[in-house]
Amino acid sequence: MTFEALYEAAKAVLNPRKLSKDADAGGVGAAILSESGKVYTGVCIDTACSMGFCAEHAAAAAMITAGENRVLMMVAVGWEGNIMPPCGRCREFISQLHDDNLDAQVLVAEGKVVALRDLLPYDWRS
């Protein structure tokens, strides 16, 4: 799997929309390549009281629901097609799902891939 294909999978789930007067969804899409080779996608849900979650969380939840927890590659895409590095909460969340997820490759900008561990330089576990 290439990052181009993973990017396209994340972009394909984008669907910005208003869910209610207090919630929006679909402005960010994410795609995760798991150890089995399956791609899991998700979108963000933003709520007025900050109880929503990021697209990476949604994709990871789909992966966990399917019985997997090892991430090989991941990317998030904004509604204009821009690549978005994962926020700190997503970095930490993904890192805790499998011991080897710190080695997951993350597309953080066009042509720029880094290991998840490089996005958590002062990891509390080390």
Q: Catalytic residue positions?
A: 56
Dump the DSSP string for 58-77: HHHHHHHHTT---EEEEEEE
Phi, psi of 96 (to 5 degrees): -90, -5
Q: What share of the chain is helix, strand, coil (3-state, %, to 5)?
A: 30, 35, 35
CA-CA distances (angstroms) from residue 74 to 22, 44, 67? 29, 15, 18
Question: Residue 10 corresponds to which tokens in the numbers above?
Answer: 């994340």
Query: Rounded distance, CA 53 to CA 94, Å?
Result: 13
